Amino acid sequence: MAEIDNVKPTKNGYAIAALVLALVALVFSWVPLFNIFSGILCVIGIALGIVGIVKIVKDEGKKAFSITALILNVVTLFVVLFFQASLMVAMHREAEGAQPIDYSVSSFDLSPGRSVDLDNGLTVSVNYVNRGVVYSYRDEDFVEVAVTIKNNSDEVIDTYPTDWRALDADYYSSCFEYVGAAEEILMPCKLHPGAEISGKLYSSENVVEVLYVTGVNESAAASWNIR
């Protein structure tokens, strides 16, 4: 009579752990702050997946399971990094408050009504300025700045209200505030070639100049004197 070996299948605990970590990381990958821990879980999951592949050399099924867990962790890590980068960019662009700026760079000291042609193909202008604008839900006066942006290039250009800054008498800049009628305020826009957009910006500070900033370092590319 033939003897039958009673062999118990070996569980690939490394692959199972890697898969669980990948799924948990994926769930929280889009949640601010939590996605940092998701990234850590992915790194641990990748390490466990690699160990699982090394441990299993004969059982193709379990080896494939380890590879699947490893790939899922790698994909999830890229998702985490994408959402984290998007969050950092959004926080950087929307950050408000006084920020020092190098006023000596490309300052044109223009009067309202004048436009400037920029190197990126945009033409920007401050059309007019109103002071003492009051809104019933805010017990303070605002400076209202009407601006226009036109795309003279051959490419689509992203424009943002945070490209405009309010400069006070101490030469500190701050972002304009989101107040006023929704149909009038300047909104983020993908500006196609030949298109232009106009809108209004508001600040409760004692604004003496309006800046338009460009580049990673947000250097002033143009300025309008509204004293």
Q: How far apart are the C-alpha atoms of 7 and 166, rounded to whole Å? A: 76
The per-residue pLDDT for 83 is 79
| Contact present, 23 and 79 (Cβ < 8 Å) | no
> Would you state the pLDDT for residue 137?
59
183-201 per-position pLDDT tens digit? 788 888 899 999 999 998 8
Which residues 6+ apart lie within 8 Å of 153 measured at CB? 120, 121, 122, 193
Higher pLDDT, 174 or 137: 174
Q: Kindly state the tokens that stand for 175.
A: 């972002």
The residue among 226, 221, 224, 200 whose CA lies nearest residue 101 is 221
- Given a cut of 80, is residue 138 above it in pLDDT? no
Confidence band for 92, pLDDT divided at 50, 70 and 90: low
Query: Given a cut of 90, is residue 148 above it in pLDDT?
Result: yes
Q: 3 pLDDT band (50/70/90 cuts)?
A: very low
Mean pLDDT of all residues in the chain? 78
The pLDDT confidence band at residue 36, using thresholds 50, 70 and 90, is: confident
DSSP string, 128-187: EEEEEEEETTEEEEEEEEEEEEEE-SSS-EEE-GGGEEEE-TTSEEEEPB--S-TTTB--
Rg of the chain, C-alpha, whole Å: 28
Q: Note the pLDDT tens digit of each residue in 107-132.
A: 467 888 888 888 889 999 999 988 87
pLDDT tens column, 40-74: 888 898 888 888 888 776 555 557 777 888 888 88
pTM of the predicted structure, to 2 decimals: 0.51
Q: Are 105 and 220 in contact (CB under 8 A)?
A: yes
Q: Are 144 and 186 in contact (CB under 8 A)?
A: no
